[in-house]
């Protein structure tokens, strides 16, 4: 049974993948974020893991008048930005990764993974994604509805830029080291893809959890060339066709 980290932009299916592993005996944290209207089946994401990643990203991100904590899963961090890990934060990371086998999930890991690597052991990295426009629409909807995000500037273009940056960190930096598996959201409904997870981790997954009705956001909208290229690379790594046509901003 191998440890794992689940990476991907928020609103991309990371919660569903984590939920499918939640019954396999993994330590996911002691204070999981409860279900709500945005994730009616739960987030399977721990407050302490999120807090550690917020602390790592805080020096790199601006502070808005209203959102001061919790919003950095929407941050835009350029590729190549150093992630500095203060000693006090390092102690917290070491305490969490001591609880093996672990399975941690947080979109912020797309940026903060370099700081975690010194504390990881025998870890498989699972990257999940879905169509960039669909994800961007879902992010904008979340920002309009969540109290803690009120006052955070966010529109379709900004959400798309954040999506692209997160996956560029994974594609250009992170995947050069370690064992990686890539999945399109739709593949979580396929036995062949789930069997890949089971072989890599040495655990069974809960095939009863995925709910296709939760795919509620539209896929329309102009997508930049950078996002289109990134989505194509992810689909290639996942071994799937480009599931839905990506509309270029130039069309």
Give the pLDDT of residue 66: 74
- Per-residue pLDDT of 21-39, as tens digits, reads 988 999 999 987 776 666 6
> Which CATH number does the domain housing residue 244 bear?
3.40.50.300
Three-state SS sequence of the chain: CCEEEEECCCCCCHHHHHHHHCCCCCECCCCECCCCCCCCCCCCCEHHHHHHHHHHHHHHCCCCCCCCCCHHHHCCCCCCCCCCCCHHHHHHHHHHHCCCCEEEECCCHHHHHHHHHHHCCCEEEEEEECCHHHHHHHHHHHHHHCHHHCCCCCCHHHHHHHHHHHHHHHHHCHHHCCEEEEEEHHHHHCHHHHHHHHHHHCCCCCCCCCCHHHCCCCCCCEECHHHHHHHHHHHHHHCCCCCCCCEECCC
pLDDT at 129 over 80: yes
- Per-residue pLDDT of 167-222, as tens digits, reads 999 999 999 999 999 999 999 999 999 999 999 999 999 988 876 665 566 677 78
Q: Is the pTM of this model over 0.85?
A: yes
Give the pLDDT of residue 181: 98
Distance CA 37, CA 62 (A): 28
Give the pLDDT of residue 245: 44
pLDDT at 251 over 60: no
Give the pLDDT of residue 12: 93
Give the pLDDT of residue 120: 98
- Per-residue pLDDT of 35-62, as tens digits, reads 666 666 667 889 999 999 999 999 999 8
Tokens of 67: 């959102």
Lowest-pLDDT choice from 1-5, 77-81, 141-145: 141-145
Distance CA 242, CA 231 (A): 8
- Per-residue pLDDT of 78-113, as tens digits, reads 999 999 999 999 999 999 999 999 999 999 999 999
**How many structural domains is the chain composed of?**
1
Give the pLDDT of residue 247: 44
Give the pLDDT of residue 209: 80
Give the pLDDT of residue 220: 72
Q: Name the percent of the chain lying above pLDDT 90.
A: 73
Give the pLDDT of residue 64: 80
pLDDT at 248 over 50: no
Q: At 102, give phi and psi (nearest 5°).
A: -115, 155
Distance CA 8, CA 181 (A): 12
Domain that holds residue 40: 3-248
Give the pLDDT of residue 26: 95
């Amino acid at each position: 049974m191998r440890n794992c980290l689940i990476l991907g932009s928020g609103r991309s299916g990371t919660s569903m993948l984590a939920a499918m592993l939640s019954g396999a005996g993994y330590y996911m944290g002691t204070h999981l974020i409860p279900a709500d209207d945005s994730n009616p089946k739960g987030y399977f994401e721990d407050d302490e893991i999120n807090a550690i990643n917020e602390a790592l990203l805080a020096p790199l991100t601006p502070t808005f008048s209203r959102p001061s904590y919790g919003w950095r899963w929407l941050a835009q961090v350029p590729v190549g930005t150093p992630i500095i890990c203060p000693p006090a934060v390092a102690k917290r990371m070491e305490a969490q990764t001591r609880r093996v086998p672990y399975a941690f999930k947080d979109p912020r890991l797309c940026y903060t993974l370099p700081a975690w690597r010194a504390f990881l052991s025998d870890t498989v990295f699972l990257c999940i994604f879905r169509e960039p426009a669909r994800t961007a629409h879902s992010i904008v909807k979340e920002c309009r509805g969540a109290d803690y995000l009120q006052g955070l500037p966010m529109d379709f273009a900004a959400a798309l830029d954040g999506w692209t940056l997160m996956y560029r960190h994974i594609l250009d930096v992170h995947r050069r080291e370690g064992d990686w598996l890539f999945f399109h959201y739709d593949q979580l409904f396929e036995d062949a893809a789930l069997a890949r997870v089971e072989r890599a981790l040495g655990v069974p997954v809960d095939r009863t959890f995925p709910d296709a009705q939760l795919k509620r956001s539209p896929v329309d909208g102009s997508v930049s060339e950078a996002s289109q290229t990134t989505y194509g690379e992810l689909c290639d790594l996942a071994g799937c066709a480009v599931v839905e046509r990506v509309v270029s901003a130039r069309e």
